[in-house]
């Protein structure tokens, strides 16, 4: 499983290094709203610059359709990057060329041209067999960046030797998005805690009525099977619900907000775990020695339904367990509630962190292990 590190690249003085970063930052009106991913790559970029390398970074940004699109220009990223570390060049959006997602060998040729070494610091893109992820390591001496190395160490460590009890707290919108990772986690955790939109399919599997909450009817049998398995699964015991006529993310639209048990009347939508559940989940988190948190406990972007997610974030900050946050929206929640620094690890990879936990490997990591400098 060991990945080549920056030290495995040898002396870098005067050499040209291509660094694949994940600068896929959120933008609003051309402004970066969160530069977390740019800051995360700075230690690796600075170390390469300090070693005397000529450093060229590259990234994808958004979802342009394989041709130049000014809405997805990397210019805002380039400006922010220049403020954070001097002397790093940034190529234009990789996805302006259809060869990136198609993993076209000719695109790889152009990408590696003129470079002496490659570094993958794009953990969040390493689950994709795209040209800039799997192409260069087949042609250049290659290494994992500092952040990518840490991501892999922490996330694969959860599968191999977690301090116990190991508890996974899962939430987010849908069970179907996360079934693979839930099944993989059930093999290694001591308990699974489920909140968020996905809890309603589990509650329905337990015979509860879920009103107008998110429900995936074709996942009910699967959830029942998981509930019948050997590992304890903690579900909510109370729910914060929005009444008929109310609209999510539109408090002005009115609609009553009420604390309820786990049987919701018709027309009521469960959008957060209730206070009793938040306290109970907090206890589980405090008693654990390792906690993985993925997925908000409710629609926390709406302040009426943020309490459950905030309570879990605070319990994560206070427990003496080793704490790991995975998933883009969960990481955003941790930042929103100001607890990022109190976590042992906040993954920069959404889909990539879940896929690594589920499968134990990623295409981008496999490619690094096959690089010509790896003996």
Give catalytic residues, as residue numbers.
37, 174, 328, 351
CB 66 within 8 A of CB 95: yes
Q: Does 255 bind ligand ADP (CB under 6 A)?
A: no
> Is the backbone peptide bond immediately before 165 cis, with ω within 30 degrees of 0?
yes
Find which of Mg ion, ligand ADP, none residue 299 binds, CB within 5 to 8 Å per kind: ligand ADP
Judged by CB under 6 A, the residue of 294, 319, 347, 348 near ligand ADP is 294
List interacting residues with Mg ion (CB under 5 A).
328-329
Is 296 a binding residue for ligand ADP by CB under 6 A? The answer is: yes
Binding of ligand ADP at residue 236 (CB under 6 A)? no
Beta carbon of residue 214, minimum distance to Mg ion (angstroms, whole number): 14
Q: CA-CA distance, 217 to 278, in Å (whole number)?
A: 26
Is 271 a residue that touches ligand ADP (CB under 6 A)? Answer: yes
- Output 310 or 329, the one with its CB closest to ligand ADP: 329
User: Minimum CB separation from ligand ADP for residue 128, in Å?
Assistant: 17
Answer whether 141's CB lies under 8 Å from 116's CB.
yes
Q: Based on CB atoms, which residue is closest to Mg ion, 236 or 328?
A: 328
214 contacts which partner out of ligand ADP, Mg ion, none, CB within 5 to 8 A by kind?
A: ligand ADP
Instruction: Decide: residue 42, CB within 10 A, 0-12 exposed, 13-18 middle, 19+ buried.
Output: middle
Binds 240: which of ligand ADP, Mg ion, none (CB < 5-8 Å by kind) = none
In the set 6, 350, 368, 371, which binds ligand ADP (CB under 6 A)?
350
Tell whether residue 124 is a contact of ligand ADP (CB under 6 A): no
Binding site for ligand ADP (CB under 6 A): 171-173, 177, 196-197, 214, 270-271, 294-296, 298-299, 301, 327-330, 350
């Amino acid at each position: 499983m060991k990945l080549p590190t920056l030290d495995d690249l040898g002396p870098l003085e005067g050499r040209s290094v291509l660094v694949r970063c994940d600068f896929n930052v959120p933008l609003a009106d051309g402004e970066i709203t969160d530069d977390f991913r740019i800051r995360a790559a700075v230690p690796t970029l600075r170390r390469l610059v300090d070693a005397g390398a000529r450093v060229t970074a590259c990234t994808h940004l958004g979802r342009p359709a394989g041709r130049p699109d000014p809405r997805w220009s990397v210019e805002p990223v380039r400006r922010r990057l220049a403020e954070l570390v001097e002397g790093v060049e940034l190529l234009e959006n990789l996805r302006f060329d259809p060869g990136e997602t198609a993993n076209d060998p000719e695109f790889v040729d152009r990408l590696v041209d003129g470079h002496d070494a490659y570094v993958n610091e794009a953990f969040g893109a390493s689950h994709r067999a795209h040209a800039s992820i799997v192409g260069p390591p087949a042609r250049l001496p290659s290494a994992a960046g500092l952040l990518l190395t840490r991501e892999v160490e922490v996330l694969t460590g959860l599968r191999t030797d977690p301090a116990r009890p190991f508890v996974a707290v899962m939430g987010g919108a849908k069970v179907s998005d996360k079934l693979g990772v839930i099944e993989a986690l059930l093999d290694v955790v001591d308990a699974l805690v489920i909140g968020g939109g996905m809890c309603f399919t589990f509650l329905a599997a337990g015979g509860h009525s879920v009103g107008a909450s998110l429900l995936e009817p074709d996942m009910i049998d699967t959830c029942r099977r998981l509930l019948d398995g050997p590992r304890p699964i903690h579900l909510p015991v109370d729910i914060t619900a929005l009444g008929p006529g109310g609209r999510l993310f539109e408090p002005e639209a009115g609609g009553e907000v009420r604390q309820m048990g786990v049987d919701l009347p018709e027309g009521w939508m469960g959008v957060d775990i209730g206070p009793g559940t938040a306290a109970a989940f907090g206890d589980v988190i405090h008693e654990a020695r390792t906690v993985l948190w993925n997925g908000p406990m409710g629609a926390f972007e709406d302040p009426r339904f943020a309490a459950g997610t905030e309570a879990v974030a605070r319990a994560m900050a206070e427990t003496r367990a080793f704490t790991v946050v995975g998933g883009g929206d969960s990481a955003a929640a941790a930042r929103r509630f100001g607890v990022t620094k109190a976590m042992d690890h906040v993954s920069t990879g959404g889909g990539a962190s879940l896929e690594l936990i589920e499968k134990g490997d990623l295409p981008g990591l496999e490619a690094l292990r096959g690089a010509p400098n790896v003996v």
